[in-house]
Structure 1
């Protein structure tokens, strides 16, 4: 397994741990808003790693090009939704509305990241697995 994929998988775990912490802290606490900001930065770094290190090698291989294009296009939509969530609640907000939005965000990210781990990352390892630094 490449260092890149190791990094991506570790970030998935970290993102979900932070989402769980955010759920427990809530948005009305300073700790919750701090976690939200840290989570936003982690997600942005993860997206940049995908855009600059994961997708480009996949675009160069016939066997992975279409898969990369599909996942990349879908992620642009999801990332806008997730970043809108972060921006909307960065200064707090209604607790019930936040809980609902957080639940939707968690579900959306969990589904996407599970599919990445099952389909996208194995395709990368099979066709693009060269020593790549994270």
Structure 2
């Protein structure tokens, strides 16, 4: 396994560790964990874009037949990213409605969990 993939896997674990903490935190502590989670998520996306997806784009531009589903991963993540960033932006000042937060959090958590499992089982092995 390459160092890049190893680092990305560690970031997945760290992000879900932060999200699990956030799931069980009170309103006062949530703001800091949200900020920390958002920063890790954005850093992770940037790393994937710069080092992982760029390799597939480079191969495609040279006429190498990169797997179609690999390219779909990039497009799918762009859509998920919009939802995740919107979630973090919505709650950046804190949580006012715990029930709505729980709904929104569950949606984002599920999206990210499914996505990261797909990356780990389908995308990273191709790299």
TM-score relative to the length of structure 2: 0.91
Whole-Å separation in 1 of the counterparts to 2:51 and 2:67? 14
Q: Say whether residues 1:114 and 2:117 are aligned partners.
A: yes
Segments of structure 2 that go 5 or more residues without pairing to the other structure are none
Please report how far the alpha carbon of residue 74 of structure 1 lies from its aligned counterpart in structure 2 after TM superposition: 0.4
Match of 2:108 among 105, 109, 112: 105
TM-score relative to the length of structure 1: 0.86
1:127 maps to none
Whole-Å separation in 2 of the counterparts to 1:48 and 1:65? 21
Give the 3-state SS of the residue equivalent to 1:25 in structure 2. coil
Q: Is the 8 A contact 1:64 1:123 kept in 2?
A: no
Whole-Å separation in 2 of the counterparts to 1:2 and 1:19? 26
Whole-Å separation in 2 of the counterparts to 1:67 and 1:48? 20
Segments of structure 1 that go 5 or more residues without pairing to the other structure are 125-134
Give the 3-state SS of the residue equivalent to 2:35 in structure 1. helix
Equivalences for residues 81-96 of structure 1 within 5 A: 81-92=83-94, 93-96=96-99
Q: CA RMSD in A?
A: 1.2
Moved over 4 A (4+): none
Q: How many residues align?
A: 122
Whole-Å separation in 2 of the counterparts to 1:102 and 1:63? 38
